[in-house]
Amino acid sequence: MTGDPHHLNIIRMRRLSTTTARAHIVVNENSYKIPKTYMEGPHVGICLSGTSQAHIDGALHNMPNWSRVISSAGFRLPSELHDDQGKGMLCGPVAGIVPSNTYPNNASIITGTNIDSHKVLFPSDTPQSDSVLAALQHSGCSILLSTPETNIRNLVSHQLSLVDTTIPKLSDPSDDLSPLTDAVHLLKDNPKKYDISYICLSDRFQHKYSELCEESAEFYGRLDLLLGELSKLNCTFAVTSDHGMNEKTNYNGQPRSINIQKILESIGVDFTVSFPIRDGEECHSLGSTALIKLQDFNDREKALKTLRDTPGLYTALGKEDFCRGLDLPQSLDADILVVGDQYSVFASEDGSFPAHSYPFRSHGSFEEQVVPFLMQSPSPLCTEYRTRLSKGKVRNYHLFDYLLNAEH
């Protein structure tokens, strides 16, 4: 029968119907293929909040799954990429949004857009662009969300309805893997039930533990086991982070805090200041970004000059510069954005900081912008997607683009 032209035709049509005719949706001008879970296995996006490349590097000896992806598909020159074709893995550093905080970055991940489009800067902001997850739900996909924090859940469930969510109660930061543990159990018990999952961890663990301690090696070792479970379940998964984390301390272990209020008061400038990191959690009381609204716009040059001369302050930008340079929205009611250096945070209004028993660790600056990215699939991945990653063109908010579009 193999020589029968009619038979060959049928085979070709079947191939067409499973490859080129795959349905897709367009969200915020980006196209996403709709996965066919009954054929391909579930697709899982994971945000390891607060995880920097240093966390992964420091625990890699305890992460056999992640190490395997790096050794077979890690960051390479485009000319070397042909070696990796067919393995369904890729891995390399990507850039997130500055301010390097949880909310703008998660809004970017779920909408696939930059901050000037979704306009989320503060924890209470609602995304102004459409959710990729919600659009997938409208086209018939079932969605699983798993995240430990109500604030993050409210954000990432934007436009979703009747979604299965797990919100584990956490008593200790080392429980912070439980959203992923719970999701892996659900996927194991119901392998065809969830087409797409989004799992966003909390960053309380990373606020507490440095990348070089034993607790961190143990934490990321457990994470790696869970990724191994996902690959056994035939899942396609993509992992990134919203932002990294750095120690923000003086030589004596106290927070290295800059009091913007005092600095501006000392030169006679009237202003209000806001801190986008604050969401009521103690670990988010101090971060490395602040926004200033001046009473009198004529004070701007004087304020910018004084702030730029302040040790520990990486830069102060006027509105036209932070909108153009960092893609922040024009609608933002602020005249100046200040960003600390790797070691500095901005003090609260009264200059106080929380009584932590551990070196103060936080985020918000450019130093926490670069985060890891890893993808693993049972199918080969497109060369175009490998090349984009190796050229440094990928952002953390391309998570769903990779997860849904990178497979052949």
Q: Toward Zn ion, which CB reaches closer, 203 or 367?
A: 203
Identity (one letter) of the amino acid at 102? Answer: T
Residues 280, 256: contact at Cβ < 8 Å? no
Shortest Cβ distance from residue 362 to Zn ion (Å)? Answer: 7
Identity (one letter) of the amino acid at 98? Answer: V
Shortest Cβ distance from residue 392 to Zn ion (Å)? Answer: 22
Q: Toward Zn ion, which CB reaches closer, 248 or 388?
A: 248
What is the DSSP annotation of 193-205? T-SEEEEE--SHH
Nearest residue to Zn ion, using CB?
102
Query: Which of 230, 228, 239 minimizes the C-alpha distance to 63?
Result: 228
- Give CA 118 to chain center in angstroms: 15
In three-state secondary structure terms, 95 is strand
Q: Toward Zn ion, which CB reaches closer, 211 or 242?
A: 242
* Helix runs in 94-177, H state only: 102-111, 115-118, 132-138, 150-156
Q: Toward Zn ion, which CB reaches closer, 40 or 215?
A: 215
Q: Toward Zn ion, which CB reaches closer, 178 or 390?
A: 178
Shortest Cβ distance from residue 54 to Zn ion (Å)? Answer: 15
- What stretch of H or E contains 144? strand 143-146
Shortest Cβ distance from residue 292 to Zn ion (Å)? Answer: 22
- What stretch of H or E contains 316? strand 313-318
Shortest Cβ distance from residue 384 to Zn ion (Å)? Answer: 30
Query: Which of 104, 72, 22, 49 minimizes the C-alpha distance to 243?
Result: 49
Q: Toward Zn ion, which CB reaches closer, 203 or 224?
A: 203
Residues 248, 362: contact at Cβ < 8 Å? yes
Shortest Cβ distance from residue 332 to Zn ion (Å)? Answer: 20
Interaction site with Zn ion (CB under 5 A): 49-50, 102, 203, 242
